Structure 1
Amino acid sequence: MIAKESIEVKKVVQFLKEIGIEVIEKQIEPSFLPGLELGPNCIYIDYDKLLYPGDLLHEAGHLAVTTSEERKLVGTDQISPDWPTQGDEITAILWSYAALRHLQLPLEFVFHPAGYKNASGWFISNFDKGNYMGLPLLEWMGLCLGNERAEKEKKSPFPAMQKWLRD
């Protein structure tokens, strides 16, 4: 059980609210991701079942990299059975990394040992080296800028985000 009063959880929930992702507390049946469920433009959370609070940021990443039209369909039978795609998955991972940096939380908050099919260390190692797999896709979505474009436009490069939600 994760305390909703923890500093990290409060920080994440406030951030998500500020960028337009609602977090709604409700009882959730046991599932693949304990204590979390995605809905239309929102994340449902069951603090009594949540094991890893960083999963909240990763799930928010899925909503953030989904088009605004599709975001309204998440959690309904109208969303494509192919959602999220592999591209969505890699950009959600990268988005959550940027959110961690923005919130000044440790990478292990999201990339905990029990997640990412035991590849959390691999992600952390790559991010520490500036290897941002999926960055061109995240840039194409209009959420951030790679080094070259950021330099041309005199803006901050990734992991700084130009905006947090895809249009």
Structure 2
Amino acid sequence: MVAVILRFLQTIGIKYSLEKIENEHFLPGLMLKNGSILIDLDKLKYPGDLLHEAGHLACTPPAIRTEMTGVLPNCDLVNGGEMMAMAWSFAACKHLGMDPGVVFHEHGYKNDSAMLIAAYEKGLGPGIPLLQWQQMCYDSANAEIQSKRPFPYMYQWVCTVNRY
């Protein structure tokens, strides 16, 4: 599963490196550094967390992405990015043919994993409007108007323009 995720990240241009991580971080075996994901495979507990962290990078404009290191600050950009990362990682699971429970596992999301999966399955989960604002996908209503495929289909996997 990790190999599939890493190939996907490479394909869409999300940078990562496999290396030892000495200090504990928010997610075991993962750390953001200068817009790249450091991955310690010996410490990685949940492969889906890798997709979630990739979502943070993918949903952030390029100039800001390269500054993302360590624990992200509590601000509107990061809070909106959290919702986008959740929606993005759900779409990535669907794209890769993985069960969304890989990302929304029982040890994450404050026991709301099942609720989030159900919402995303209906195209109503948090972060979808922000992905649409970044022109990465369409919600159901706008997809119909535009004759496009709706979320979880992604028209663009990585944010390229700063709309903030």
Which residue number in structure 2 is paired with residue 20 of structure 1? 13
Deviation at 1:42, TM superposition (A): 1.4
Counterpart residue type for residue 132 of structure 1: G
Partners of 1:22 and 1:43 within 8 A in 2: yes
Partner of 1:118: 111
1:45-72: CA deviation from partner (whole Å, max 9, x where unpaired)? 0011110010000000000111111011
| Gaps in structure 2 of 5+ consecutive residues | none
User: How far 1:87 sits from its partner (Å)?
Assistant: 1.0
TM-score by length of 2: 0.89
Unaligned runs of 5+ in 1: 1-7
The answer to whether the 8 A contact 2:106-2:113 is kept is yes
1:54 aligns with 2:34: no
SS at match of 2:37: strand
CA distance in 2, matches of 1:131, 1:125: 9
Cα gap change, 1:137 to 1:83, in 2 (>3 Å) = closer
Q: Give SS of 1:44's match.
A: strand
The answer to whether the Cα contact below 8 Å between 2:123 and 2:140 also exists between their aligned partners in 1 is no
| Corresponding position of 1:140 | 133
Find the aligned partners of 2:93 and 2:43 in 1 and give their Cα distance. 22
Aligned length: 159
- What CA RMSD, in Å, does the superposition of the two structures yield over aligned residues? 2.0
> Structure 1: how far apart are the matches of 2:46 and 2:70?
25
Helix, strand or coil for the counterpart of 1:54? helix
Normalised to the residue count of structure 1, the TM-score between the two structures is: 0.87
Paired residue type of 2:41:
Y
Is the partner of 2:31 in helix, strand or coil? strand
| Distance across 1 between alignment mates of 2:126 and 2:153 | 15
Amino acid at match of 1:155: K
What is the match of residue 5 of structure 1?
A: none
Measured after TM superposition, the shift of residue 148 of structure 1 is 2.8
Which residue is 1:96 aligned to? 89
Identity of aligned residues (%): 43
Q: Summarize deviations over 1:99-128 as a string: whole Å, max 9, x none.
A: 001001001100000011221122122223
- Which of 92, 100, 106 is equivalent to 1:107? 100
Matched, 1:86 2:79: yes
CA distance in 1, matches of 2:73, 2:124: 30
Contact 1:62 1:84 in 2 (8 A): no
Q: Partner amino acid for 1:61?
A: G
Match of 2:20, SS?
coil
